Amino acid sequence: METSKAIEGLRVAVTGGTSGLGLALVRRLSDIGARVAFVARSADAVERVAADTGSIGVVGDVGDKDAIYPIALQITGNLGGIDVLINNASSLGPTPLALLADTECEELETALAVNLVGPFRLTKALYGALAASAREHRGSVVVNISSDAAVNAYPEWGAYGASKAALGHLTSIWHEESNALGIHFLSIDPGDMDTPLHALAVPDADASTLKHPDQSAMEVIAAITAALPQRTVALQGNRP
C-alpha cells in the first residue's frame, strides 16, 4: 500500500514539532492525512505551527517530569487515542559542544532528561493507549530518533552521544518486551540535517552537504508505513 493511504487517518504525536525534523514531520504527516498532535516548549511557535498545518499544538517540555502526564492527556484527549509516537525532541547538552571533562553534570543531566528519560516517561504514559491501538489493528508504532553519535565516539559529543546510545538500547528492549502486544519500536538515525540543532552544534558546517529535513521526514514516514502490516491488512479487509 502506498504511504499516503497507510498513513491517512493515523493518530500521530511528534515531540519537538516546531523546528527541524519535527516540523518537517508535522507538515508531511498532516499533508498526507494523518491526525497530528505535536509538542514543543514555545507557546508562540506552537501556535504558529498549529495554525499553519491544521495540527494540534501542545505546549510542554518533555524533559520536565511534571509535564509528561499533562502532555499525554492532551495528546490522547485531542486525538481520541494514539497510533504512532515519534520521540524527536533532543538536547545537545552543553552548547557550544564540550569535552566530557569540561561538561557540567547539569548539562549531562539535561541531555539525559530530554533525550532518554523524557521519551521513556512519555512512552510509558501513552503505553496503554498504544496497546489499545494495537488491539484495534490500527498499527501501533513508537519511533525514537537516534543519531550516528550513538555509535561513533565523536569528541565533544559525549552528552548527546551517550544519551542517544542509551535511547537506542532502550528502544531495542521496549521492542522485545512489546512485540507480543503488537507495539512496534523503531530507532531511526535520520542523518546529518540542515536544522537549527545541527547549526547550534556545528556553526561552520556547509549546509549544502546536509540533508534537508523533508527528505529525512519522508524516510521516517516510510519506515512507519513498513511497520504497519496489521493496519494495512485490516483496512484492506474492511473495504467493500
Residue in the block written with cell 504527516: 29
Alpha helices, DSSP H only, in the chain? 3-7, 20-31, 43-53, 68-79, 105-112, 118-135, 158-178, 196-201, 213-226, 229-237
Angle subtended by helix axes 213-226 and 20-31, to nearest 10: 60
Q: How many residues does the chain have?
A: 240
Active-site residue among 90, 91, 133, 160? 160
Active-site residue among 30, 164, 178, 216? 164
Verify whether residue 65 is a known catalytic residue: no
Do residues 49 and 38 lie in contact, with contact meaning Cβ atoms separated by under 8 Å?
Answer: yes
Verify whether residue 178 is a known catalytic residue: no
3-state helix/strand/coil string of 166-200: HHHHHHHHHHHHHHHHCEEEEEECCCCECCHHHHH
Active-site residue among 55, 146, 178, 187? 146
Can you spell out the DSSP letters for 53-74? H--EEEE--TT-GGGHHHHHHH
C-alpha 36/C-alpha 53 separation (Å) is 9
Do residues 21 and 216 lie in contact, with contact meaning Cβ atoms separated by under 8 Å?
Answer: yes
- Residues carrying an active site annotation: 146, 160, 164
